[in-house]
Structures are given as C-alpha cells and as structure tokens.
Structure 1
Amino acid sequence: MGTEDILPGPYFFSASGLYSAWRIFPDDKDAFILSTVPTQDDPHTYENLNAAAFGASSLCVAVPSRLKATKSEQKPLAGMRIAIKDLFHLKGVHTGCGNRMLHDACKVSSSAVESVLDLGGIIVGKTKTVEFGSSQEVIGDWCDYFYPFNSRGDGYIAGTGSSTGSASSLAAYPWLDITLGTDGELKLEAAVHLLKLIFMSLT
C-alpha cells in the first residue's frame, strides 16, 4: 500500500501494521449495553469493545474520525456514528433484547442494520431496551440492567418506551449522529428527550 492510498485521519503504527485511531467516550447516561467496532477483516462484521477511559467508571464507546469519511450518492451515511437498539442483530455480537440470558453472537445482521452499513454508516454500539422490547414502567420492568438517564431538564426526567436507550444516547452525546429504534412509543420517547423523529424505510 502506497502513501497515496492512505486516507486523511489519525493512525497508530506498529510492527504489525497501520491502524485507525478511534476516540473513546464514557457512557455517562448508561444508555449503551455494549460498545462495538468493526473487525479488521470485514467492515460488516463487528466485535465487542472492552475498553475504559481514564477516570471513567462506566462503559466506554469508541468512535472513528470523520476525516476519512467521504459521502457520496452511494454512501450518504459515510462516517456517521450510529447506535442501534439491542433488538437488532449485528453480525459478530450478541443480541440480548435487554436480557442477560441471551449471549450467542449473531451470524447475520438485521436487514435494516445491513442497509445502514451498505450506506456507509458505522455502528458504534447497541443501546439498552426494556426486556424483550415490551412496553415498560420506569423501574418495574427493568430487571437485568439499569434504566438510562434522560439528559434533559435536571437529568432525572423519566424516559419512556422500549427505545429509551436510543433516545437517551442521541439526546446526550454530540459525538453520536443517528440511533435506530423500533416503532411503538417512538413519538413519546422523542418528545421527552426533545428529539426530532424521522421514519425511514431501510429495506
């Protein structure tokens, strides 16, 4: 590979090769269930990222530099940092559906997620959902994981709905561009997190 093939952006160099540098952010709002990065061999296959930032006690999420992203008609989501609800399959990592019992890695991605990847999006993690994506109460139906915080108001306004992890993360983190949720209570979740809701067909 010649220098003309290297895109702009931060890198790490070692004896084994040249690697892209990603920045790590703490998930202060407890909105994510896991952080993900694409594998070195296949950009459509992902793996869990177990990393911590200095001084952070929460899960940390890694995001790529936007310097290497070149949007086009074929890749309108190029370089965009996207989080998906933990009901969507992502090849290489497990889908827990808000439950710790499910932990087998998925062999294929959901069609909506695959469409996002085809359009150039980068999945940085999976967001929390109430168990099995059912309708929920703020405390009663969150058994295995802690309920995400809503960054609006005094930080203790209750979110609502099974996609509250996606809403909470998008409202709180400027380094996140898009989150995927599921239809049902999305309008209410967008309202309590002061978000703009866009319905898109990715199939």
Structure 2
Amino acid sequence: MVKEALILDSNDDLGPQLARVLVENGYIVRVLATPERGKAYEREPVYIHNLTENYEKIIRELDFSRVEIAIFPSPNDMFNLTFAKVAKSQGVPIVVITTRSDAIATTAEEEGIIAIVTYHCVLSRLFRLLNLKFVRLLQIRGDVAMLEILVTSDSKLLGKTIGEIEEDTGAKVAVIRDGEFVVAKDAEIQEGDYLIAIGPRAYLQELTE
C-alpha cells in the first residue's frame, strides 16, 4: 500500500525540508498551505491543499485512510493542536505537533499526540522519531562542501570520534545531540546524532556511502 504523509506548512524552511526528506523516504506527501506559502513547495513533488480561513472544513474533508504520518509544525500552537486532534480521531498512527508551550505539549500527549517543544532541535528530533534517513551534501565554494547527516543504526560513523573523522577527511566536524552542540574531539558518534561537517567534498562524499 502507498504510504502518505500530511504536513501543515511551518511558515519557514522546516516544512519544505521535511517534505523533501519524506519524499526521499518513499512517502506521498500532502501539504496544507496558503496559496502564497504553497510556492515554497514548488520544487518538491508534493500535493498542495490550499488553506483558507475555513481551515477546519478543509482538514475534515481530507482523506486520512492512507496517511501514516501527520505533522503540524506551524508557529500557531493552537492551530497545530486542533489539526492534530482531527488527524488522531481519523486513525492516523503517528501524529506530531511542535509547540512553544509545555502545557500544550502535555495536553497533546494526553490525546496520544507526540509533541516536540521547539527549544529542542526540531528537525533532527523528527527524523529520529520517524526513523527517516537524511543526508545532504551542499557545495559551498570550489571543492569545499557542507555535509549534514542523521546518524542511523547502520551508519559506518558509529563509534568513531569527532577527531578521527576530522583526521580522515580534513573537515571540521560537530554534532547536535539532545539540543547540545558537541565539538569535543574525543566525543564518539552515536545513533541519532545530527552530524555537520565542512571540508573537501570528495572526502565528505565517502562518509555518505
């Protein structure tokens, strides 16, 4: 059966990034966005559902029967919670919201909704939570590139230290772990780390293979 994911636009770069990764992981992605914000997704192979002021009617008319993941990361906490409750009531197995409020996070969790408080690293938490693979290698200038990678259980980076990776690649390396920025050379790479490296593209490419 085809896997579907539903995303409420985040009004920033998070939504498009998440849509791209879900597509790369085999999902058909549906995005709820205003016509203006829908333009941010034009480069992604997703379906756009235009949001109007009557947003409750729109979400209640959606077909949730194949939706396995619904994510509501907009800046409006109550918007997120309202949409998430509808998705949960329609039987969506994994429903996630972002929130700035511990109280709303508690309310969501009482409803069986996963809440990520936004002072944590939202993107890496989502990737780990949804078991999504994520690798991005961006050319910066000349032969220099930046690598972003979520370290999974099958990664060859596991157990290596930041210092060892820097020595092997000639890159500068850091990881984000539980919201903390780790650069200690003796720190070992762990599953769930969000690794960032800047250095020679050819060597960074080897880390993704």
* Shorter-chain TM-score tier: under 0.3
Question: Quick check: which one's helix share is greater?
Answer: 2
Question: Quick check: which one's strand share is greater?
Answer: 2
Which structure has more relative contact order (CA 8 Å, sep 6+)? It is: 1
Q: TM-score, normalised by structure 1?
A: 0.28
